[in-house]
Amino acid sequence: MKLFVGLGNPGAGYAGNRHNIGFMAVDRIAADHSFGPWKKAFKGLVADGRLGNVRVLLLKPDTFMNLSGQAVQAAMAFHKILPEDVVVFHDELDLAPGKLRTKMAGGHAGHNGLRSIHGHIGENYGRVRLGIGHPGHKDAVAGYVLHDFARADADWLGDLLRGLSEGAALLAAGESARFLNAVALRMAPQRVSSGTRPQQIAPPTPKPVKQPVVDAPEPDTRTLLQRLSDRFS
The residues near 31 (Cβ < 8 Å, ≥ 6 apart) are 165
CB 67 within 8 A of CB 60: no
The residues near 55 (Cβ < 8 Å, ≥ 6 apart) are 1, 2, 48, 49
CB 93 within 8 A of CB 132: yes
Burial class (CB in 10 A: 0-12, 13-18, 19+), 102: middle
Q: Select which of 19, 33, 90, 111 is catalytic.
A: 19
Q: Which three-class secondary structure state does DSSP give residue 54?
A: strand
Residue type at 20?
N
Widest CA span in the chain: 135
How far apart are the C-alpha atoms of 76 and 133, rounded to whole Å?
A: 31
19 classed as catalytic:
yes
Q: Which three-class secondary structure state does DSSP give residue 4?
A: strand
Point out the residues that are catalytic.
19
